[in-house]
Amino acid sequence: MIKCNLLTAQDIDNLNKDSETIYLKALYQCESSIYFDDDNLLYENNTREFYNYKSSFYLSFLSNKDSISNEYLEARKDLYKSMQTIKQEQAQELEYQISDIDSHSINTHKGNRISSNNLILESQDKNNIIIFLDTSNSLSHLIHIHNNKIDIFTKDKTYIDIQELESLLQEYVNTNTESNNTKQGSPMSLDILNSPSTQIFFYSTLLLGSSEIESNPFLFGELDKDNTIKQDTPSYYFSPKDEENNLGTLTIFLNASTLTLLNYSLLDSSLNIKLELTNKESQEKQDKAIIQREQKQHKEQLKPLSTAMLHPLLEDNEMKCSHGGVVQLKSNLGKSITDKNIPFILETDLLYSSIAGCPNPPISGGPCTQVALILPSSRGLKKHNEDYPIMQSLVSSGVFSDKGVPLICIPKPNSYKINAPNPTHTKNITKEALKNFKYNQSITNYHWRKNAA
């Protein structure tokens, strides 16, 4: 007789690499229960037989059990918790589909969406997002976005086009921002893909990068005593494809498995995979790519500024941080300029405005408390009352909280339209301006407005 035991959150938190196989299987499959036989023995041996040596579970958890990292275990636990949250929300909404959800036959309804042929699962608060990267909705081939972090899980013969990945995330950001869910806002921006907040796993191995083997240009990895590439640690081979944009194909080898990343950038360390060049020829090519990028950016800066007529920010606009905290808008310098008795919010009015009710937990940096940075790209081109108006549609690309997250303004038309930078022109300005800016507690001593006026 088979017995069923429901797993608790504590059961999952207590798991480690030496836990019983049946528990690791439940973690990997995001299963909420495990099964026993009449003698109360776990089906460990049956599990090993069921997951043969070629299965993703076996290669992730069983073949290299001693080398499983805490980063991988914590990433799978986070995925498990997100999946359980989404299942519970869906079960409450559609009780008759509980059995389908538990067996991973997930139907498309509220909380599930199809985007560019990818199934996207999201929790109601938008803090947990799972994007499957194949049509089989494999738990070995997905992106998990949670708490302003991204975990990417991959397996043998996985191909990921980083430009397509950026487009997929941008599509999600745009859909989320433009939908009725703008109250919560988007928990991410595309820049996070190349930051330490992104982890990519090849089975259970976290890919961090390596140093170049000096005698082999663009080959990165560790050598055995006989000067051959180690098979049990990741090795990387970069093949330049678009030298003008410093992009190429990065092939990653681990044991007998291969992962391919298209449109990988050495300069940007795409997906936070950092490859250190030591070969003279490779370094010369890298230096050339840096010069070409700088020249291209300089040409972009010399182009005439594209402008548009946009609605300014007023005191009755709704503005939030990406976690949901509300900016307390109060006009002072702009109160003499009104639209239907609603005053303007000028740059001085907005800077250091308090943010109330941000739920961002301490583990993720703590709550946003004030508006800390306003880039010139978010302003109108001319001053009103000796200060610049802020454009509603430019807030998300140029106004940031003291935790470094972009603020979001809910669009609300008014009778004013002011000449300002075109929203499509502000993306590169914002990215370059933020590269040299570090958010910290001394941010209140930084006055961009005074320096840029």
Q: pLDDT tens, 253-276?
A: 999 899 999 999 998 899 999 999
Integer CA distances (angstroms), 154 to 139, 163, 189, 351, in order: 9, 17, 22, 43
Q: pLDDT value at position 243?
A: 72
Q: pLDDT value at position 222?
A: 92
Where is average pLDDT lowest: 69-78, 179-188, 423-432? 179-188
CA distance 435 to 164: 24
Asked whether the beta carbons of 162 and 183 are under 8 A apart, the reply is no
* Per-residue pLDDT at 113 exceeds 80: no
Mean pLDDT for the chain?
81
**Amino acid present at 174:** N
* Per-residue pLDDT at 343 exceeds 90: yes
Report the share of the chain in percent with pLDDT over 70.
Answer: 77
Most confident of 68-82, 239-253, 303-317: 68-82
Q: pLDDT value at position 300?
A: 65
Q: pLDDT value at position 112?
A: 55
* Per-residue pLDDT at 364 exceeds 50: yes
Q: How confident is the model at residue 162 (pLDDT cuts 50, 70, 90)?
A: very high
Q: How confident is the model at residue 174 (pLDDT cuts 50, 70, 90)?
A: low
**What are the structure tokens assigned to 395, written together?**
């807030």
CA distance 346 to 163: 37
Which residues are bridge partners to 143 per DSSP? 131, 152
Predicted structure pTM score = 0.63
Q: Average pLDDT for residues 80-98, to the nearest whole number? A: 77
Where is average pLDDT lowest: 177-181, 211-215, 254-258, 332-336? 177-181
Q: How confident is the model at residue 450 (pLDDT cuts 50, 70, 90)?
A: very low
